[in-house]
Amino acid sequence: MRLPLLALAVSAFAIGTTEFVVMGLLPQMADDLGVSIPSAGLLVSGYALGVVIGGPLLAMATAKLPRKAVLLVLMGIFVLGNVLCALAPNYETLMVARVIASLAHGSFFGAGAVVARHIAPPGKGAQAIALMFTGLTVANILGVPLGTLLGQALGWRATFWAVVVLGVASLAIIARNVPNLHDLTAPQLRRELRVLREPQVLLALGMTVFGFGGIFAVFTYIVPILTSEAGLGEDAISLVLVLFGLGATAGTLLGGRLADWKLMPALIIALLVLCAFFVAFAGAMYVPALAVTGVFLIGLIGFVAGPGLQARSVQQAKDAPLLVSTLNQSAFNLGNAGGAWIGATLLTHGAGYPVLSLAAAGVTVVGLGLTLLSLRMERRAAVNDVVYGASA
C-alpha cells in the first residue's frame, strides 16, 4: 500500500504547491501585473472555481478509463496549465491559465481518494485518504515557502516553472508505482448521479463548503495580515508559512485517526474549536507572537476536519463513491473560492483584516450547523430502522 500512496502524496504535493503558493506571492504578483491585492487574491478564487466546475465534468468524462490512466491524464492537464501560468503575459491570461491548471485538481483527488480507500486495510480508509492528503499539507511546509522564496528571488514565473517540474516528476512516479487495479469496478454514471438525490450526500457536500470555507477568508490574505497588522518583515514570511504547513500536516494526520475513531463527533469538535479560534484571532493578529502562533493553528485546527469531511462524503455515497468524492473536492474549493471572495469583498468595501477573521467564524458556524443536522437525521433514521424492524 505504501508505494501507491506515496505516488498519490507526491502528486498532491505538486497540486498543493500551485494552489497555495499564490498566497505567499500575492504582493509581488499584484505589483508585477498592475492589479490590487484583492484582485490578485481572486486568482485563488479562479483556481478554486475551476476545480468546482472541472472536477465533476472530468470525472464523468473519464469514468470508463482505468483509474491509473485517469490519474496520468489529469496530471498531464495540470502540467499544461502551469506551463501556461508561467508564460502568461497579463492578469487575464494568468486567470485563464490558473483555471486550466485547476481543472484536473478535483478529479485527481476524487479518483485518488477512491484508489486510496480501495487499497487500504479494513477500517483504515480514512487514514489512507489522510496519507494521500498529507502531500497537500506538506506542500505548505516545503512547496509554498520554497516557492515564495524562489518567487521573491527570481520572480513569480520561476515558481510556476518549478511546479511544472514537480508535475512531470509526479507523472513518472504514478506510472511506476500506482497499480492498474483491475479489480476496481468501473463506476456506473447513472448510479453515481442517482446518489446526488440523497439528502445526506448533499448535507455532506454542504458541510465541506462551509466547514472549510472560513479558512480561506483569512489565509488568502495572511501575508498582508502578517506584514501590515503584526508588523513582520517580508523576509520572515516564508518561515511563518512553514509553520502553517506543519500545522496542516499534523492536523490532517490527526484528523484521519479521529475520523476512523468517531467520525461525526470528531467533526463537530473540530468545527467548534475552529469557530472559537477565528474569534480569538481577530484580536490576536496585532501581536507578532500571537499572529505567528495563529498561522500554525489555522493549519492544525483547520485541517483536522479535512479527512473526516472527505470520508463522510464517501461514506454517504455508499456504492457510488467516485462522483461524490470528486464533488467533495469541488466543495472544498467552492469553500476556498467563497472564502477568498468574502475576504476580497470586505477589503474592497473598507473592512479591516480582523473583520475577515470574524467572517470566517460565521462561515464555520454554518458548517457546524449542517454537521449537527446531518447527525440528527442519521440518528433519527437509525431509530426508525430499529422501531420498524422490530414491528416487522
For residue range 174-210, list pLDDT tens digits in order: 888 777 766 566 566 666 677 777 888 889 999 999 9
- In angstroms, the CA 144 to CA 297 distance is 17
Q: What does pTM read for this prediction?
A: 0.73
Q: Over the chain, what is the mean pLDDT?
A: 83
Torsions phi, psi for 63 (to 5 deg) = -60, -35
- In angstroms, the CA 316 to CA 331 distance is 15
Inter-residue contact 39 to 90 (CB < 8 Å) = no
Confidence of residue 382 (pLDDT cuts 50, 70, 90): confident
Instruction: Calculate ∠ Cα 328-334-340, nearest 5°.
Output: 145
- Cell numbers describing residue 112: 485518488
Cα 289 from chain centroid (whole Å) = 27
- Cell numbers describing residue 103: 481543472
- Say how many domains are in the chain: 1
What residue has cell string 461514506? Answer: 315
pLDDT, tens only, 16-49: 888 878 877 888 888 888 888 888 888 877 887 8
What residue has cell string 505567528? Answer: 292
Residue 186 DSSP symbol: P
Q: What's the N-to-C CA distance of the chain in angstroms?
A: 44
Confidence of residue 273 (pLDDT cuts 50, 70, 90): very high
Model confidence at 376: pLDDT above 80: yes
Model confidence at 87: pLDDT above 80: yes
Non-local CB neighbours of 176 within 8 Å, separated by 6+ positions? 7
pLDDT, tens only, 114-143: 777 666 666 666 677 777 777 777 787 788
Q: pLDDT value at position 188?
A: 63
- In angstroms, the CA 132 to CA 108 distance is 11
Q: What is the CATH number of the domain that holds 282?
A: 1.20.1250.20
Size of the chain, expressed as the number of residues it contains: 392
- In angstroms, the CA 170 to CA 82 distance is 14
Question: What is the residue type of 104?
Answer: A
Supply the range of the domain harboring residue 220.
Answer: 2-391
Q: What is the largest CA-CA distance in the chain?
A: 73
Inter-residue contact 126 to 259 (CB < 8 Å) = yes
Mean pLDDT throughout 222-246?
84
Mean pLDDT throughout 289-315?
88
Q: Which comes out higher in pLDDT, residue 68 or 230?
A: 230
pLDDT, tens only, 325-348: 778 877 887 888 788 889 889 998
Inter-residue contact 247 to 296 (CB < 8 Å) = yes
Model confidence at 212: pLDDT above 70: yes
Non-local CB neighbours of 275 within 8 Å, separated by 6+ positions? 361, 364, 365, 368
In the three-class reduction of DSSP (H, G, I as helix; E, B as strand; rest coil), residue 231 is classed as coil
Assign 3-class secondary structure to 261-278.
Answer: HCHHHHHHHHHHHHHHHH
- In angstroms, the CA 102 to CA 135 distance is 17
Q: pLDDT value at position 233?
A: 83
Confidence of residue 391 (pLDDT cuts 50, 70, 90): low
Q: pLDDT value at position 390?
A: 52
pLDDT, tens only, 237-254: 878 878 888 888 888 888
Inter-residue contact 52 to 337 (CB < 8 Å) = yes
Using left for φ > 0, alpha for ψ between -120 and 50, and beta otherwise, residue 333 falls in: alpha
